[in-house]
Amino acid sequence: MKTVHDMVDAAKAEIHEVSVGEAEAAISGADYLIDVREDDEFHDGHIAGAINIPRGLLEFKMSNDEGLCQRDKQILLYCKTSGRAALSAKALKELGYSQVSSIAGGFDAWVAAGKAVVTPKLPDFD
């Protein structure tokens, strides 16, 4: 019986991952940088310029948004450690997106490399 780790490994064999060292160039060349983590994870900190589309909604959002449904756009995905992003990249490839990549090691690798993180601040109501 397959495990989720088997599924992630299989997905990674079919997708393109960029290293954290290559990520800044990939981000500048991407039409969309998509963080597939959950909303609370995104609000705790994310890569500048990222849009948040949680993994569970990705295919629906991509298919129903006029801008996102263009299958030839450069899309770069990331999540916490790269598993959700790999599954997301594979799913988008299956939907016909031709230029999809993910960041190897995900957000954790980005932070460990000392890269900049955006941390939104909630308004102070005091």
CB 94 within 8 A of CB 62: no
Above 90 in pLDDT, residue 80? yes
Does this model's pTM top 0.85? My answer is yes
* pLDDT at 85 (0 to 100): 98
Mean pLDDT of all residues in 111-115: 97
* pLDDT at 89 (0 to 100): 98
* pLDDT at 45 (0 to 100): 96
Q: Structural domain boundaries of the chain?
A: 4-109
Please tell me whether residue 115 adopts helix, strand or coil conformation: coil
Between helix 4-14 and helix 83-94 the angle, nearest 10°, is 60
**H/E run at residue 16:** strand 16-18
Above 80 in pLDDT, residue 20? yes
Above 80 in pLDDT, residue 126? no
pLDDT digits (tens, 9 = 90+) for 34-75: 999 999 999 999 999 999 999 999 999 999 998 898 999 999
Alpha carbon distance 48, 27 (integer Å): 9
Above 90 in pLDDT, residue 33? yes
Q: Domain 4-109 maps to which CATH number in 3.90.1150.10, 3.90.1200.10, 3.30.1180.20, 3.40.250.10? A: 3.40.250.10
